[in-house]
Structures are given as C-alpha cells and as structure tokens.
C-alpha cells in the first residue's frame, strides 16, 4: 500500500490486487446475500451439502455437464480459491470435485463458520485482477465493505456467478438483473421482507468506480519511480531472518511525502494546458509531419513495442517485421478527448504517438525537501518516459545558477555590464544572440536576469569561469555532464527537472541545498517501522546574503520580466519569484517558480527535438510551462487549507532590496560611470560582514 502524506491511498504494488478484511467489518446483509445465493444450507452442513452433491455427481461428473452449476458449497469454493484446480485429462472434473470435497470437510473442522466466510470473501475473485471483498468494494463503490448498502452487497455477490459476464462497469443491465436475482434469493430465505426487496429491485445501478491500477489513480509516474526505489531498498534491507522483503506480497505500508490535493491539482493543471497546446500543435502540423521524410524515429519507436519484440523473438527478419506491422487493424488510441477506436497499423500508431507534446512537474516543499507533487507525463499507460527525471536542455532556467556563482565569486550586483554583440573566436567564432534581438546599453544583474539577456549571462559566465560554474552546479545536485563552453550560459547543458528544483532550493535555505525527499516511512504488515526518511540539507554553498539577493532579483522576473504574465494574466498579487526558460527553436519550455514555501518546476516539450511548434511563441517557457504552474498555484490558493500561504512573505531585509535597487538598464557609458561612483551602503555592509567572518 502506498499512502500520501494526508493518508490517501495512492496505489498498491501487487501481483494480485487483494486486501484482507476482518469478519467484524463485514456487514450482515453481505453475508446474508452470499449464503442465500451461494450456499443456503451453509450453517447446517459440514463442508459438503449432500443434496447438492448428488446433483453434481449425476450432472456434472457422470454427464460431464459443466454448465449444470450448483453443488459447490462455500467451503468447496474456498478450497478452489486456496488450492487452484489442476488438469487431469478426462478425469479433470471428477478428480478436482472430489479433491475439493475432501478439503472442504477439513476446512470445516479447522475453522469456524465465521472464519470460513471471512477467508472466502478475502480470497474470491471479482474479476479485473481484483481479489477479496474489500478491494472489490473500493473498486466498484469507492468505500469499505462495512459501508456497503444492501443493493451494493447484492451486486457484488451476484458477480461471483460470472465476474466478466456480470461486471457492472461493462454490462450494467446484465449486472442489475443479476443483483435483483440475489435480492429475490434473500427474500426467498427470509433475509428481506417483500416491501424492502421490491423497492431495492427498483433502484438504478450506481457505481463510484475507481481503479487503482499501476497506470491509473493519482501519481502513477511517481509510484513507478518509487517502485524501483523500493525494489532496491528490499534488496539491501533484509528481514531479521535474512530473507528479502517482497514489495508485492509482504503487506508493506509505504508512506510518502506526496500531498494528494497538490498532486491532483498538478495533474489537472497539466491536463488542461497540454490538451490546449496539443490542439494548437495539431493544427500547425495538420497536413505535415514533424519528422519530414525521416522515418528512423518511427522505426525506433516501433522497435520498442511488444509486437515487434515478439516477432523478433520468433526469428523474423527486421524488414519482414516492419512490413507486417504496416497492416491496418482496429485499435483503441489515446486522445485528449478520450479513448477512441481507430483503424491503423502499428507503424501508423507509432507515428501518431510520436506527435504528442509532453510535460513534467515537480513540486517540493522548500525547507524540508518533501516532494508534494510529481507528474512525470501526460498518460502513464501510453507514455512511460518520466519527464521529472529525464534530462533536457535547461535554457534560461540555468541562468540563476550562473548568477549565484558570480555573486559567490564577488560580483557586484550593481556593476553594469555591456549588452554588446560579441564574437568569441576561441569558441568557433560563436556569437550569442538575445531573443529580443536588441543590443547596446548596460544592464545590472537584476535587469539582465529580469529580461533574460543572453549576452550578459555569457559575460558573467566568462568572468566567473566555466569550470567554477560547473563545479558549483555539481554542488547544487546537478549530476549530468555540462559542456565546457560559453553556451552553457544559455542552458545547453542537459539536466533533469528534479535536479533543477533541487538547485533552486539554495535560494530559500540561506545558501543550503535541500535534496528532494519522497519516501517518509516504511512499515511492515504489523506496523513495525522499517525506515524513516529525513530532510537532507547541505552546508551553505553561497552566503545567505547572496541567496536573498537572488530571491529579490528573481522576484523582478515575475514583477517586470519574462514571467510577468503571472501578474497581468493570472492575477497573482502575492510574493513570487522564478525564471522562465526556452531552448533553441522553442524545443523545450521551462518555468521554475517559488513561493516562500513551495518550489515548483514545469517542463514542456516533445520526446524528440524536432517535435515542436512550427511557428509562434507557443513553445516558449512563458507560454507553454508557466500556465501549468499558474493553474496549479491558483488551485492551491483556492483551497481553504492552503489559502494562508498566499499571504506569506520572503522577508527580504531592506538592505538587500537597496543592494539590487539600481536601475535595470542604462543607455550610455556616462550613465554607467556615474552609477559606479555612487556608494551603495548595502554592498559595503556585505563586504564588512565577509571581512569580519
């Protein structure tokens, strides 16, 4: 069982979806419905109902009539659940029947009637890989068995006749008729009076269907990531007897830091924005393909399918497999409007799915590192790649790391840098370009970060030192290889969303880095604590004063810069800070924003670089990723439980505000000289503090 921090069941790891329930938690009407329908003389016999057994002998065994039904008591059905039938050629039916009779008598001697009912209801299948009444009750009615109504109990008992035939989700009319038959059996054997039975039979079929499968429910990508972590944990943390824990069968309770409300909000915000972006993308590429004539990406995707692998295992040549997979057939495909039936070949299906845009979201509590929401993609059943941990170019979201390293290296935030177009001969005559196309004048650090001026970021990287910035990035938790070139200032290094959110924690923690924590506690089935997670906080990597300077500068990005739509479009009036990011050709769109409590990063893009918008600014971080962040935070602030957080402040001291209070932009060198001569009391206070230390 995997639980959120607010005690919501997120999902389960299982081979068979089964949860045990105690007899005292079973409603009386459920037991009565079961006995009236499956074994009316349950309380009278000793495991075998002689009258029914005779019918079995003559019809099922002698006449080999498998559909004659009846005969099996609850004891015998329990025996079949516990000890599955085996094949014995022509003697399969009689051998298994007699075997189950013997086991039924033994079970009756070993257990009380109550225990038999409890065991049976905990082991019987309700279809859909669902075992046990508690799991079925949650699946079809989203409640515990003790809360079932009479008609709901009758429906579940009715399913036992044929779990697929009478599945209420698939065949509601058929299931309702079967439910009413169970109610009539309860009337027949005096468990219901006629008025009650008649009124219950008139009720419509009402489900509250919830399937906590591996691909459904909250946080499926997170649960899969956690599953791999749990497998590794089980391997390295044996039981007292030396054997290994089995995460599927040992009944472990796994408590995570995920907040169910925030996870739901993040998934909803992502779905809304991604459906909107995909519709624009599809219109732009309506009669074209992002791949052009290059089919290698489609072939690569096709080779990862189970159909391709199966044919390859059978020895078919690659060319024949690809040809075979170009034959159309009926299939169900994912769309943002819901699942749809289509006729297409597996090859066309692979091409269809490569056109989708994807997204990743990670929301982390700044002080503790507790991960509150983890959205790895748009649909875990059809798209397995987790974009929280995948690596992409960071674009301008990498710039705050460079600016922090520059401050650490002693750069004055109000020293103005020229916005000149410079060609760097030692780097293959590379000339960095500003996205807005403007050059000239001088920018302060705050002004350059606010307006994401590329030339200034490159200049800061050059002055600070590429190797110094790379080493600093590693201290912040960035593990991938970063290119030792000046284009690193534009975010050409490939990083994960998880790494970037961790790196941004340095600003809210006085220069310390807090690692993301998502596993809070592990308990065994008896409630013994096997593991407890704690915040992992580094020593300071930058001066606390510099961390505050960065917050103040990144507030300006929201107030006046590339993320200003948070104010003008989405109406946020509380303290926010963050940074947008866009890579070349609008391939990747980023936004990492934070409040005094929460750091949330969002990435949007295609699985491959050529899956991008043809024109317009739809792929930019401010247009693609920022709206997801905005909708997510709006939902949080609307919840009365979290509304208070909107009024919290970063609590930036006045001298820090003064420190970066210089003009963002100066037009001339004379203005620059004049500003340089002005003394800034906050800056000297900082120098004095450092000298004193």
Task: For 597-626, write each residue's pLDDT tens digit.
Answer: 999 999 999 998 889 999 889 999 999 999
Q: Provide the H-helix boundaries in 360-426.
A: 399-408
- Who's near 168: CB < 8 A, 6+ residues apart? 140, 155, 159, 175, 176, 205, 207
pLDDT tens profile 532-542: 999 999 999 99
More confident residue, 416 or 691: 416
- Who's near 664: CB < 8 A, 6+ residues apart? 443, 444, 446, 447, 450, 451, 556, 560
CB distance 81 to 107 below 8 Å: no
Beta-strand pair 494-496/529-532: unpaired
What is the CB-side half-sphere exposure of residue 672 using CA atoms within 13 A?
15
Name the least confident of 436-440, 509-513, 650-654. Answer: 436-440
Give me the domains of the chain, ranges plus CATH numbers.
17-201 (1.10.3810.10), 358-692 (3.40.710.10)
Q: What percent of the chain has pLDDT over 90?
A: 71
Confidence check: pLDDT of 88 > 60: no
- Who's near 394: CB < 8 A, 6+ residues apart? 491, 493, 494, 495, 500, 581, 583, 588, 590
pLDDT tens profile 464-481: 999 999 999 999 999 988
pLDDT of amino acid 71: 61
Rounded Cα–Cα distance for residues 435 and 585 (Å): 11
Name the least confident of 220-229, 253-262, 667-676. Answer: 667-676
CB distance 85 to 110 below 8 Å: no
Q: Provide the H-helix boundaries in 285-371.
A: 296-303, 306-313, 318-324, 346-354
- Who's near 614: CB < 8 A, 6+ residues apart? 284, 285, 288
- Over the Cα atoms of the chain, what is R_g? 32
pLDDT tens profile 146-174: 999 999 999 999 999 999 999 999 999 99
pLDDT range class, residue 16, cuts 50, 70, 90 = low
Q: How many Å is the maximal CA-CA distance in the chain? A: 109
E strand segments, 129-204: 130-131
Backbone angles phi, psi at 615, to 5 degrees: -155, 170
pLDDT of amino acid 688: 36
Rounded Cα–Cα distance for residues 29 and 667 (Å): 83
pLDDT of amino acid 686: 46
How far is CA 207 from each of CA 10, 139, 167, 666, rounded to the nearest angstrom?
Answer: 20, 9, 11, 66
pLDDT of amino acid 89: 55
pLDDT of amino acid 643: 93
What CA dihedral angle connects 174, 175, 179 and 184, to 10 degrees? Answer: 10
Rounded Cα–Cα distance for residues 580 and 491 (Å): 11
CB distance 333 to 339 below 8 Å: yes
CB distance 491 to 399 below 8 Å: yes
Confidence check: pLDDT of 92 > 60: no
pLDDT of amino acid 689: 44
Q: What percent of the chain has pLDDT over 70?
A: 91
**b/e sequence 111-139, b meaning 16+ C-beta within 10 Å:** eeeeebbbbbbbbbbbbbebbbbbbbbbb
Beta-strand pair 9-11/340-344: unpaired
How far is CA 464 from each of CA 135, 408, 410, 528, 644, rounded to the nearest angstrom?
Answer: 59, 9, 9, 52, 40
Backbone angles phi, psi at 238, to 5 degrees: -70, 165
- Section 15-20 average pLDDT: 70
Closest to 437 measured CA to CA, from 448, 450, 421, 425:
421
Rounded Cα–Cα distance for residues 331 and 307 (Å): 13
Rounded Cα–Cα distance for residues 146 and 204 (Å): 21
pLDDT tens profile 506-552: 999 999 999 999 999 999 989 999 999 999 999 999 999 999 999 99
pLDDT range class, residue 435, cuts 50, 70, 90 = confident
pLDDT of amino acid 685: 42
pLDDT of amino acid 610: 87
Backbone angles phi, psi at 535, to 5 degrees: -55, 140
Beta-strand pair 253-256/371-375: unpaired
- Section 171-181 average pLDDT: 96
End-to-end CA distance of the chain: 51
Strand partners, 597: none
Question: What is residue 396's DSSP assignment?
Answer: G
Helix or strand holding residue 606 (H, E)? strand 598-606
CB distance 156 to 133 below 8 Å: yes
């Amino acid at each position: 069982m995997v639980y959120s921090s607010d005690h919501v069941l997120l999902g389960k790891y299982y081979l068979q979806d089964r949860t045990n329930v105690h007899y005292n938690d079973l409603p009386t009407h459920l037991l009565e419905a079961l006995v009236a329908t499956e074994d009316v003389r349950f309380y009278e016999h000793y495991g075998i109902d002689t009258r029914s057994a005779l019918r079995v002998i003559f019809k099922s065994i002698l006449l080999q009539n498998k559909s004659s039904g009846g005969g099996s008591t609850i004891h015998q059905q329990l025996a079949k659940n516990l000890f599955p039938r085996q094949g014995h050629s022509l003697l399969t039916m009689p051998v298994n029947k007699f075997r189950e009779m013997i086991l039924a008598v033994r079970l009756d001697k070993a257990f009380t009637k109550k225990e038999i009912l409890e065991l049976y209801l905990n082991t019987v299948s309700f279809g859909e890989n669902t075992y046990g009444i508690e799991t079925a009750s949650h699946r079809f009615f989203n409640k515990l068995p003790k809360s079932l109504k009479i008609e709901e109990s009758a429906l579940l008992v009715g399913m036992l006749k044929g779990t697929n035939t009478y599945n209420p989700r698939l065949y509601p009319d058929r299931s309702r008729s079967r439910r009413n038959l169970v109610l009539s059996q309860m009337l027949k054997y005096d468990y219901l009076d006629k008025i009650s039975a008649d009124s219950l039979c008139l009720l419509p079929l009402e489900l509250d269907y919830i399937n906590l499968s591996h691909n459904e429910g909250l946080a499926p990508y997170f649960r899969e990531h956690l599953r791999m972590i749990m497998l590794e944990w089980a391997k390295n943390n044996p039981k007292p007897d030396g054997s290994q824990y089995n995460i599927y069968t040992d009944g472990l309770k796994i408590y995570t830091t995920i907040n169910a409300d925030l996870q739901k909000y993040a998934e909803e915000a992502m779905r809304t924005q991604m459906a909107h972006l995909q519709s624009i993308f599809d219109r732009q590429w309506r009669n074209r393909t992002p791949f052009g004539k290059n089919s290698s990406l489609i072939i690569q995707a096709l080779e990862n399918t189970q159909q391709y692998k199966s044919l390859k295992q059978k020895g078919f040549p690659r060319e024949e497999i690809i040809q075979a997979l170009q034959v159309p057939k009926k299939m169900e495909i994912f769309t943002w409007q819901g699942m749809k039936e289509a006729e297409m070949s597996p090859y066309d299906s692979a091409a269809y799915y490569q056109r989708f845009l994807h997204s990743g979201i990670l929301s982390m509590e700044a002080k503790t590192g507790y991960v509150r929401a983890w959205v790895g993609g748009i649909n875990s059943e059809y798209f397995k790649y987790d974009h929280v941990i995948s690596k992409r170019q960071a674009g301008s979201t990498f710039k705050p790391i460079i600016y922090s390293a520059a401050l650490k290296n002693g750069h004055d935030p109000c020293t103005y840098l020229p916005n000149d177009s410079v060609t760097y001969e030692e780097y293959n005559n590379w000339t960095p370009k500003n996205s807005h196309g403007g050059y000239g004048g001088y920018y302060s650090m705050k002004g350059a970060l606010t307006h994401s001026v590329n030339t200034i970021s490159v200049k800061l990287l050059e002055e600070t030192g590429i190797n110094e910035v790379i080493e600093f990035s590693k201290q912040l938790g960035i593990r991938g290889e970063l290119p030792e070139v000046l284009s690193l200032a534009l975010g050409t290094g490939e990083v994960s969303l998880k790494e970037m959110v961790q790196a941004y924690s340095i600003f809210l923690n006085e220069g310390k880095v807090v690692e993301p924590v998502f596993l809070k506690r592990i308990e065994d089935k008896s409630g013994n604590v096997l593991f407890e997670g704690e915040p992992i906080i580094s020593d300071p990597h930058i001066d606390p004063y510099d961390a505050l300077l960065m917050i103040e500068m990144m507030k300006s990005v929201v107030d006046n810069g590339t993320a200003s739509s948070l104010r003008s479009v989405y109406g946020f009036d509380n303290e926010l800070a963050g940074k947008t990011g866009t890579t070349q050709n609008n391939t990747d769109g980023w936004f990492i924003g934070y409040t005094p409590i929460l750091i949330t990063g969002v990435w949007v893009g295609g699985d491959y670089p050529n899956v991008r918008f043809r024109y317009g600014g739809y792929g930019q971080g401010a247009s693609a990723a920022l709206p997801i962040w905005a909708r997510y935070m709006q939902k949080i602030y609307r919840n009365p439980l979290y509304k208070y957080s909107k009024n919290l402040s970063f609590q930036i001291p006045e001298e820090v505000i003064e420190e970066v209070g210089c003009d963002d932009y100066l037009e001339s060198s004379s203005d620059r000289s004049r500003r340089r001569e002005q003394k800034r009391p906050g800056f000297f206070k900082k120098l004095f503090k450092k000298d004193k230390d």
